[in-house]
Amino acid sequence: MRIGVLTSGGDAPGMNAAIRAAVRQADALGHEAWGIRQGFQGVLEKDWAPMPTRACANILQRGGTVLHTARCPEFLEIHRRADAAANLREAGIQALVIIGGDGSFRGAEALQREQGILCAGIPGTIDNDLPGTDRTLGFDTALNTAVEAIDRIRDTASAHGRLFLVEVMGRSSGMLAVHTALACGAEAVLYPESPDDSYQALVARLHANWLRGKRSSIVVVAEGDDLGNAMVVGARLRRDYGLDLRVVVLGHIQRGGSPSALDRIWGSRWGAEAVRRLAAGEGGFYLGEVAGALAVQPLARILDPRPAPPGDMGELVDILSR
């Protein structure tokens, strides 16, 4: 069987581990893996080539994706997905391993349902916001990167007795923000799913800490928080209270870097499992981790509501900040 492997949407550390595992497991089973560059765009442009096992040498420990990734708005159109399926059939590619996030899985679901191309999804996004899995590739690495950065900011915040607002990625998910905040001992966290995300609550919390004698504070802000991003919240606090605060946007440094051991391990397990199932004729699923075990979900499950950060974690950030 000829199995195509692609990475789509936002890149995430650990994608290369999944690519390597898919290619080498295919080879071990006597199948042929093809690397497709630039995600779904590459399928439309036939930007692909056979990927020998040796092409995966020394990629396990690298961030990003050797297959490159792209956003492909054309793939939202049913007739372009039909074109994609025709291209795949012409090249003899019967199955796809699609490593990406929510949008990529929606594309995979449509391609499988409408065109009968066997599709397997591997969760790859630093947001960790997919239903049916406790983990996505890149989250653990991004979390550790954010924690390390904030530890450095904490040193200077303490030295100057200053308030820092630190923005982490998460346009619609507070998963990274809440985990980062708890791991850094942040004084507060603002994130989209928060039940108590008012400006007044934030000000009250910072004021209470000030009265307790705390002179420096770190507030972690998810970029998609309802109050606005860190720049917006910072400007408002400056205007209303004249605070000498600093805003740090961690930005894309959270996306890069060598994947953590966990992201490498899960990338390897998922890459191999996806190929084993496709080779057995199974498609229309994505892989995940549930309570520590490898889980298999139907692709249609991507339409379920996204998971929110556990509520008790946000509360714990508040309780432990005193």
Catalytic residues: 127
Report if residue 103 touches ligand ADP, rule: CB under 6 A. yes
Strands 118-123 and 188-190: unpaired
What track of x and - describes contact with ligand ADP for positions 57 through 96 (by CB under 6 A)? --------------xx--xx--------------------
As given in the structure block, the two tokens for residue 218 are: 């770190």
Residue type, 235: A
**Count of residues near ligand ADP by CB under 6 A:** 17
DSSP codes, 98-132: EEE-HHHHHHHHHHHHHH--EEEEEEB-TT---TT
Q: Which is nearer to ligand ADP, 10 or 35 (CB)?
A: 10
Q: Shortest distance, CB of residue 200 to ligand ADP, whole angstroms?
A: 34
Q: Contact region for ligand ADP (CB under 6 A) — 3-11, 84-92, 242-250, 287-295?
A: 3-11
Subset of residues 24 to 43 that bind ligand ADP, contact rule: CB under 6 A: 40
What's the Cα-to-Cα distance from 142 to each of 59, 97, 145, 275, 282, rounded to whole Å? 18, 23, 5, 26, 32
The DSSP code sequence of 115-180 is H--EEEEEEB-TT---TT-S--BTHHHHHHHHHHHHHHHHHHHHHHT-EEEEEES-SS--HHHHHH
Contact residue for ligand ADP among 14, 64, 107, 192 (CB under 6 A)? 107
Helix, strand or coil, per DSSP, at residue 93: coil
Q: How far is the CB of 192 from ligand ADP (least distance, A)?
A: 16
100 scored as a contact of ligand ADP (CB under 6 A): yes
- Closest to ligand ADP by CB, 7 or 194: 7
Q: CB of residue 85 vs ligand ADP: minimum separation in angstroms? A: 13
Q: Tell me the closest approach of the beta carbon of residue 12 to ligand ADP, in angstroms.
A: 8
Select 98 or 279, whichever has its Cβ closest to ligand ADP: 98
- The two three-digit tokens of residue 199, written as one number: 């400006």
